[in-house]
Structure 1
Amino acid sequence: MPPSPAAVPDPGRDPDAPAVTTAARLAAEFAEGAAHRDRDRILPAAEIHRLTEAGLFALSVPAELGGADVGVPVLTEVFRLLAAADPSIAQIPHSHYVFLELLRRQGSPAQQAFFFGEVLAGRRLANAQSERGSRTVAEDRTTLTPRSGGGYVLEGEKFYATGSLLAHWLVVRAVLPHADPLLDGSRPKAVAFVRADAPGVSVVDDWQGIGQRTTGSGTVRLERVHVPEEHVLPYTREFAAPTAYGSFAQVLHAALDAGIARAALSAAVAETARARPWFESGAEHAVDDPLLVQQAGECEITVRAAEALLREAARAVDTARTAPDAQNTAAASVATAVAKVACARAAVEASSVLFELAGTRAAAEPLGLSRFWRDARTHTLHDPTRWKVQHIGRWTLTATAPPRHGLI
C-alpha cells in the first residue's frame, strides 16, 4: 500500500533533505580551520564562496522562480550545522536570508524576480541596520529621501554590518523623512538594496569583537547614494499585520547558539579524554571521575533540550510563515523565544563547562578553546533574553501576544 499523503516527506521540510547533507559535509571541512581563522582573524572568503557554489545561499528562493524553497526546519538545521563548525561562517548568511524573507513578503513580482534571480546567480546580501549613538537600537538616523531626478538619496552610517565585507548587495534600513508620521510620531522605514560597490558606499573592516571575529561585520558609510525606486521595499508595513518575519529571523539566531553549544560540548568530550583525573577521585582516567561524569551529563541534558526546543520552534515558524494569522504567528514567536533563551543558555554553559571538564590545559592559548565561549558570549548579546522571558511569561499567564517588532 502506498504511503498516505501526510506520510510523504516534503523535500523542503525533510530533515534529511539534500541541503542538510551538503551543509553537514561542508561543515566538517570548515571546522578544521575554524580555530586558525579565529586566531589570525582570517575572513572566510573561500568558505563563503563554497557555500554559495553549493547553493546554500539560495535555499529559500521560491520554487516558481527556480529555487529550492526549503522550509524553516531544513534552513534551521543548515544554520545549526554550520555554527557547530564555525559560528562566524554561519552568521554571515543570516541577514541574507532574513531580507530574502522580507522580499518574499513585501517585494513586487518584478522585485522578486530580479533579486531572487541575483541570488540564484550567486550574489549575496548583507545587512546594514544597526547604528551607534541613537537612544535605542530600534531608532535610525539614516535617511532615504526622494531625489528630484527619480529614485532616492541614501545618507547615513551603519555599524556591525554582518557579512558586508563579503557581500554583493547591502540591505540598508532607513527612515523616510518625507512620509506621513505614524501614530507614535515616528516616521516609517524602508530598506534599500544597494550594490556594495555603488558610488558613495564604503565598507570599513573595523569589527573588533572578542568573538564572532570573522563575520565580516564592517562599518558601512553612505554618502549621497542614489537608489532606484525599484530597489526599495517597505519595512514598517511588514509589522502592521500578523507576521512570522521576526520569529523567522530569531529562530536562525537560536540555531547559531545551538550549534555553538553542541560544538563546545563535543570539544569538551575530546579534551576530557586527554585530561588527568583529580587525585581525590580515585579514578584512573578523568572520564571516570564521578563529579565530571555528573557535569557532562547535566550539560548534555541542557544542550539536548535546547536542540529539541529549536526543532519545535522551527516547525512553529514554518506553519506561521506558510499561512500567517494572529494565533499562529504569536505562538511561533513564543516558541522561538523559548528556544532562543534555551539555546543561548546552553551555548554559554557548554562553552564554560568545557574548561571544567578538560582542566587547566584547556586554557592554553594554542588550543584555541576560548573561541567557543567568546563566540557564545558575543552572539548571545544580539538581543537580550531577559525581554524574551518577559514575553513568554505574559503569554503563559494572560495569553498576551508578543509585540510585532522583528526581534521576537
Structure 2
Amino acid sequence: MAGATRTPIASARAALSVAAELSNAFAEDAGARDAHRILPHEQVAALKESGLLALTVPAEYGGLDVPVVVLAEVMRLLAHGDPSIGQIPHSHFTFLEALRLQGTPAQQAYFYGLVLDGALLANAQSERGPHPIDVDTTTLTVAAGGYVLQGRKYYSTGALFADWLIVRASRADGSGPVPTAATAKAIAFVPRDAPGVQIVDDWDGMGQRTTASGSVTLTAVEVPGEHVLEFSPIFTRPTVYGARAQLLHAALDVGIATAALEEAVRQAAKARPHFEASVSSAVEDPTLVQAAGELTVTVRGAQALLAEAARQIDTARADLTQDSAAAASIAVAIAKVAAARAAVEAGSTLFEFGGTRSASASGNLSRYWRDARTHTLHDATRWKVRHIGNYTLAGTKPPRHGQL
C-alpha cells in the first residue's frame, strides 16, 4: 500500500528544521481541534509528506538513519506543537526498530521502501483486561499460505491515519490454552483496509483527544508469512528497543512541558499584577518571578535529561552489551520520570501565571494538563523510580520488556 509522496530530508539539521516548521503549523489550531475532537487529517498528511517518517530508515536502504538524539528532539518538537499529533508517529518509529532487529533483508527492503514513500505505521498492540497488560489474547494462527489474525486491540494510536497496522499477537495453533505472558509473540504488518479489519474511533480520553486511539477488531484477517516478524526474541538479548520506545514517550512529555511553559509566559504578559506586589505588570511580581524561575528549572532540567538519555542510547547502540543497554535504560527511566513530572507541573502551574482569566473554557488552557496527565499514564513512573533505586544501590539491571 503506498503512502504519500515524501520530500527527501538530506541531513539531521534539515530534519530539525522541518520538525520545527511543522510544530509551528500544528500549534495554530491545536486548541480548537482538542476542544471539538477534530481529527488532524490534514496535519498528518503534512507529516507524511514532510519526509520525517523516514528518518530512521537505515542508510543501506536509502534512509538517513538519524541518531536517537535527533529523533528525540524531532518528537519533542512535534509534541510541542500538538501532543496528539506528536504521539501518532511514536509506534511508527518503534516498530521500524523492530523491523531493523528482526526483519529479514527482504522484509526490510519492502517495508523500508514503503516508509521512504511516505507510509505511516500505527500500532494495534494494547488490550483491555482482565488479563495483565503483557498478555495478548489476540492470536496469530498458522493457516494455508500464511497466518490468520483473530482478536481485538484498544488504544491503537493513529490507526485511522495509518497505511499499515502493526499487530502484536500470541502464537497459537488453535488448540492450546489461553495465552499467557510467557507465550511467544509475533508482530504482523497488516494493511489498514485489509478484509476483516475494523477500526473504530472510540477513544474518549480527557486528554490526547485527537490521537484516534480507538479500537481495532481483527476477524479472520489473513496475513502472508512474509509480513510476520518474531517479536519475543528481541527481549532475550541486550537491545535498546524498550529504552528507545520509552525515550520517545519522554520526548512527548517534554514537548508538552516546553509548550506549557511557553504558554505560561504568554499568560503572564497579559495578566494583572497582584495588588500587594505594588508593581505595574505581572511579570514584575516577585512571587511570579520566583515561580517562573522554578518552573523553568524543572522543564529545562527534563529537556536536558531527555537529550542525555538519547545520547546514552546512541552510545549503547555503538557498543551493545548487557551493561551498556542497562545504563541506557536507567538513563531513559530518569528522563521519563523527570519528563512526566515536568509536563504535569507545567500544565498545572501555567494557571498561576494567568490568574482567573486563564481558567476560561474558551481559552482551553486545561488541555496542557489534560494531555500531560493522560499521556503520563502510559507507563507508571513509580516503577521507573524503583528500577532507578535498585540500579543505584545494588547495580540491579532493569527488566527487558516490550510494554510501550
**Same fold flag (TM > 0.5):** yes
Is 1:102 matched with 2:98? yes
Query: Within 2, Cα distance between the matches of 1:323 and 1:95?
Result: 25
- Does structure 1 conserve the Cα–Cα contact (< 8 Å) formed by 2:134 and 2:403? no
SS of corresponding position for 1:176 = strand
Q: Which runs of 5+ in 2 are unaligned?
A: 1-9
Which among 303, 306, 319 is matched to residue 302 of structure 2?
306
Question: RMSD over aligned Cα, in angstroms?
Answer: 1.5
The equivalent residue for 2:131 is 135
1:22 maps to a residue whose letter is V
Which among 161, 168, 179 is matched to residue 166 of structure 1?
161
Aligned-residue offset at 1:150: 2.0
Query: Within 2, Cα distance between the matches of 1:348 and 1:393?
Result: 22
The equivalent residue for 1:346 is 342
**Which is worse superposed, 346-355 or 316-325?**
316-325
Query: Within 2, Cα distance between the matches of 1:120 and 1:323?
Result: 28
The equivalent residue for 2:50 is 54
1:170 maps to a residue whose letter is L
- Does structure 1 conserve the Cα–Cα contact (< 8 Å) formed by 2:142 and 2:172? no
Equivalent runs, 1:242-253 vs 2, <5 Å: 242-253=238-249
SS of corresponding position for 1:57 = helix
- Does structure 2 conserve the Cα–Cα contact (< 8 Å) formed by 1:171 and 1:191? yes
2:155 maps to a residue whose letter is Y
The equivalent residue for 1:389 is 385
SS of corresponding position for 1:197 = coil
Query: Within 1, Cα distance between the matches of 2:393 and 2:83?
Result: 35
Query: Within 1, Cα distance between the matches of 2:64 and 2:165?
Result: 23
The equivalent residue for 2:215 is 219
Equivalent runs, 1:36-185 vs 2, <5 Å: 36-147=32-143, 149-178=144-173
Is 1:363 matched with 2:372? no
Query: Within 2, Cα distance between the matches of 1:334 and 1:394?
Result: 10
Query: Within 2, Cα distance between the matches of 1:236 and 1:348?
Result: 33
The equivalent residue for 1:378 is 374
Query: Within 1, Cα distance between the matches of 2:319 and 2:104?
Result: 19
1:176 maps to a residue whose letter is R
Query: Within 2, Cα distance between the matches of 1:368 and 1:278?
Result: 23
Equivalent runs, 1:198-209 vs 2, <5 Å: 198-209=194-205
Query: Within 2, Cα distance between the matches of 1:281 and 1:389?
Result: 40
Q: How many residues align structurally?
A: 392
- Does structure 1 conserve the Cα–Cα contact (< 8 Å) formed by 2:134 and 2:181? no
SS of corresponding position for 2:270 = coil
Aligned-residue offset at 1:319: 1.8
| CA shift digits 1:28-65 (9 cap, x unpaired) | 11111111111111111111111111101111011111
| CA shift digits 1:87-124 (9 cap, x unpaired) | 01100000000000000010000000010011111111
Query: Within 1, Cα distance between the matches of 2:336 and 2:183?
Result: 30
| CA shift digits 1:250-305 (9 cap, x unpaired) | 11100000010010011011011111111122222111111111111100000010
Aligned-residue offset at 1:407: 4.3
Aligned-residue offset at 1:389: 0.2
Query: Within 2, Cα distance between the matches of 1:250 and 1:175?
Result: 22
SS of corresponding position for 2:245 = helix
Aligned-residue offset at 1:134: 3.4
- Does structure 2 conserve the Cα–Cα contact (< 8 Å) formed by 1:271 and 1:362? yes
Query: Within 2, Cα distance between the matches of 1:242 and 1:372?
Result: 36
1:175 maps to a residue whose letter is S
1:220 maps to a residue whose letter is V
Which among 244, 260, 272 is matched to residue 264 of structure 1?
260
- Does structure 1 conserve the Cα–Cα contact (< 8 Å) formed by 2:269 and 2:283? yes
Query: Within 2, Cα distance between the matches of 1:134 and 1:24?
Result: 41
Aligned-residue offset at 1:185: 8.0
